[in-house]
Amino acid sequence: MSARASELPAPEAVLAERDDRRTPAVFLDYDGVLTPIVDRPSDAVMGPEMRRIVSDLARRTSVCVVSGRDRAVVTELMGLDDLIVAGSHGFDIHSPSTGTITHDASSGFEELVEKVTAEVTDGAAAIEGTLVEPKHASVALHYRAVDPARHGEVSDLVDGILAAHPGELRVTPGKFVHEIQPKIDWNKGRAVEHLLGVLDLRGPDVLPVYLGDDVTDEDAFVAPSIADGGLGVLVIDPADAAARETAASAVLADVDAVGRFLDGLAR
Ligand SMILES: O=P(O)(O)OC[C@H]1O[C@H](O[C@H]2O[C@H](CO)[C@@H](O)[C@H](O)[C@H]2O)[C@H](O)[C@@H](O)[C@@H]1O
């Protein structure tokens, strides 16, 4: 079910209203949730206070990070290496205690991603301000620093690459980024459902919670465990909330509000 973000309550209010005493299993998106959005992806380093909050929460309950970033990159930006991380939009899942967590879409796309990454890199070289971010299972073409008059060229490049690989790729829009991925039935929502099963977190005493800010996070908000009895939390600037339809059931305004919410969870 979809709602206007500006009409959604805070997650603390949702849990109080439900009188929900279940133990949360927490799934966290990274950019825009654990760190504010910044101009350069490499500058989005998690701050010490959020690091403390996430570490403390992980001592109290299950915490997994589900990011569009490459797994190694998000792990380094967090400065935490003891969390389960599903990188590359949930394709690449790793647990510090058990190693790689495989799933239906774990492999088979490497050659395609390598080829497409090279094509994106070649094409982007002609458009000033673009930034190509290669990942394990996708490639991100950032255009935040591109002159708006040239945004059409960026879209044309993406369309051309899609046309050169009929039926093989999909593109997900993000915040000044085109995420080009293999067209496989896998996403952040599938990753959340998979992790709940693998980690034995299904049951009447568990409250699955997902926090995210971007378009790709909507796949997690509609995942059955989050949408039906769980809690999906959209992080969005109140100034943008009236224009955003979402499947989340609660909202937080920014990274500081995320910190306060996580700090109060599972106590
Ligand atoms: O799923 P996430 O962990 O939220 O990652 C989504 C994408 O985040 C990054 O890009 C976005 O954040 C950057 C830093 O704030 C910003 O400069 C960029 O414009 C945003 O699109 C990351 O670089 C991507 O790989 C992620 O897919």
- According to the model, what pLDDT value does residue 106 have? 82
From CA 157, how far away is CA 151, in angstroms rounded? 10
Query: Is any ligand 1 atom within 6 A of the Cβ of residue 60?
Result: no
Contact between residue 88 and residue 74 where contact means Cβ atoms under 8 Å apart:
no
Residue 15 buriedness (CB in 10 A; 0-12 / 13-18 / 19+): buried
Query: Is any ligand 1 atom within 6 A of the Cβ of residue 41?
Result: yes
Residue by residue, pLDDT tens for the chain (267 residues) are 799 999 999 999 999 999 999 999 999 999 999 999 999 999 999 999 999 999 999 999 999 999 999 999 999 999 999 999 999 999 999 999 999 999 888 889 999 999 999 999 999 999 999 999 999 999 999 999 999 999 999 999 999 999 999 999 999 989 999 999 999 999 999 999 999 999 999 999 999 999 999 999 999 999 999 999 999 999 999 999 999 999 999 999 999 999 999 999 988
CA 18 to ligand 1 center in whole angstroms: 33
Domain boundaries, the chain: 3-103+186-264, 110-182
Residue nearest to atom 15 of ligand 1 (CA): 37
From CA 137, how far away is CA 125, in angstroms rounded? 21
Fill in the amino acid letter for 201: L
How does DSSP assign 59-100, residue by residue?
HHSEEEEE-SS-HHHHHHHHT--SSEEEETTTTEEEETTTEE
Structure tokens at 196: 């709940």
Structure tokens at 114: 């390598």
Query: Is any ligand 1 atom within 6 A of the Cβ of residue 219?
Result: no
Residue with tokens 């299904």: 202
- According to the model, what pLDDT value does residue 259 have? 98
Query: Is any ligand 1 atom within 6 A of the Cβ of residue 51?
Result: no
What is the CATH number assigned to the segment(s) 110-182?
3.30.70.1020
Catalytic annotation present for 29: yes
From CA 240, how far away is CA 244, in angstroms rounded? 7
180: which strand partners? 139, 171
From CA 181, how far away is CA 112, in angstroms rounded? 9
- According to the model, what pLDDT value does residue 107 have? 87
CA 69 to ligand 1 center in whole angstroms: 7
- According to the model, what pLDDT value does residue 104 have? 86
Ligand 1 nearest-atom number relative to CA 73: 25
Q: Which of 27, 28, 29, 31 to mutate to test the pocket of ligand 1 (most atoms within 8 A of CB)?
A: 31
Q: Does domain 3-103+186-264 have CATH number 3.40.50.1000?
A: yes
Query: Is any ligand 1 atom within 6 A of the Cβ of residue 179?
Result: yes
CA 25 to ligand 1 center in whole angstroms: 24
Which has the closest alpha carbon to 219: 176, 181, 251, 190?
A: 190
Query: Is any ligand 1 atom within 6 A of the Cβ of residue 39?
Result: yes
